Structure formats: structure tokens, C-alpha cells
Amino acid sequence: MTTPDRALAELLAEPVLEVAPRLLGMRIRTELDGQPTEVTLNEVEAYVGALDPASHAYRGRTPRNEAMFAAAGTLYVYKSYGIHWCMNIVTGQVGVPHAVLLRGGVPLVGEETMVNRRGRRDHLADGPGKLTQALGVTGEHNGSSVLDGRVRLLPGDAPPSGTVAATPRIGITRAVDLPWRFVLRL
């Protein structure tokens, strides 16, 4: 445990549609099995709880989405298609299940570890399942905090103006037109 970043904690408590684009350019760092790995986030999606038909929490609380109702900064990790782990950062207020799905990153530290975890040398973290696998994140980390855990969100430089694009979200079947995916194009 280290000292939580107060400014970061306050940012994460903001509304999810404001938080999501501001995560771009920040880093996710893990230290698991003695192997540090880190990526710069370049693709995220906002999920707006009860107001969002595409959200896992649209129909209320279930065993799976429990972590989404916890404090801002909590990790919500779920298994997608029975195969891949995907990770979200919970935002906003306790009891309101808003979260940002982390969909892609650029390797920064521990690239060889990522190669080993992924079983290939290319496409290490350019997708939600690939990102979690490269970082070694699993359901074991569901419910932990990115402010003080072994899976940590670190501040980065704010993206230059004009480099953040908002587009429809990927891989969903409901609310397909809402522009709640945010990508960093350099």
C-alpha cells in the first residue's frame, strides 16, 4: 500500500462521462508475481448504470456486478464470453453503478512479461481482453482499488487538445449509437 493520490480519487468521483476521456493518457500499472507491467491507456468506454441499456447494471444489482456499486476507484473485473477477463474502473458515487471499461493500451513497462502472458509478440494490449491478460489482471482483483492496490491507476499527461475522439461503443447490441467510447489518436 502506498499513499492514495487525492487528486486522482477526486477525479474518479466525477460523472463517468467526464472521467472516461480523462483516463486517456493515464497509465495502468500492475506488480504481480514480481513482474511490473504498465500501459498507457488509449481506448476506454463509459457505462452509465441504470440509464444505459448496454450496462451490466442496467437491470440492477446482481452477484456479478456487485463491485460496480462500490466507491470510485474500485475495479470491476468480469469474464467475457466465458473466456476473457475484462476490467472497469468504477466512478462517481457509492451505490450508483457507473464504470469505465478499459479497452486498450500501449505497452510501456514489462513488455517481455506481456509477451509471455499473451503468448505472442504483437497485439499485446489493443483490446479489453488482451489488455487485462497482458497486465495479469483476473477475477482475483475484482473489488480492489486502483488507488492503492497492486493494480494501480497512475496519472499521466493530459492528451493534447484534438487528440480525443468520441465514437459509438464496440461489441454491444443495445444503445449502439451513443458516442461513449473514447480513443486517443496520436
Partner DNA sequence: ACGAGGATGCTCT
Partner DNA sequence: GAGCATCCTCGTC
Site string for DNA, 34-73 (x = CB under 7 A): -----------x-x------xxxx-x--xxxx--x-----
1 binds DNA (CB under 7 A): no
Of 27 and 169, nearer to DNA (C-beta) is: 169
- Angle (nearest 5°) at CA 74 between 92 and 96: 35
Q: What residue type is 44 in one-letter code?
A: V
Q: How many CA atoms lie within 13 A of 51 on its CB side?
A: 11
CB of 107 to DNA, least distance (A): 14
Of 4 and 79, nearer to DNA (C-beta) is: 79
Of 84 and 150, nearer to DNA (C-beta) is: 84
Of 158 and 165, nearer to DNA (C-beta) is: 165
Q: Can you tell me the distance from the alpha carbon of 51 to that of 182, in angstroms, rounded to the nearest whole number? A: 19
Site string for DNA, 139-178 (x = CB under 7 A): ------------------------------xxxxxx----
Q: Which of residues 74-103 bind DNA (CB under 7 A)?
A: 76, 78-84, 86, 88, 99, 101, 103
Name which position in 128, 136, 149, 159 contacts DNA (CB under 7 A).
Answer: 128
Q: How many CA atoms lie within 13 A of 71 on its CB side?
A: 9
Binding site for DNA (CB under 7 A): 45, 47, 54-57, 59, 62-65, 68, 76, 78-84, 86, 88, 99, 101, 103, 118, 120, 123, 127-131, 169-174
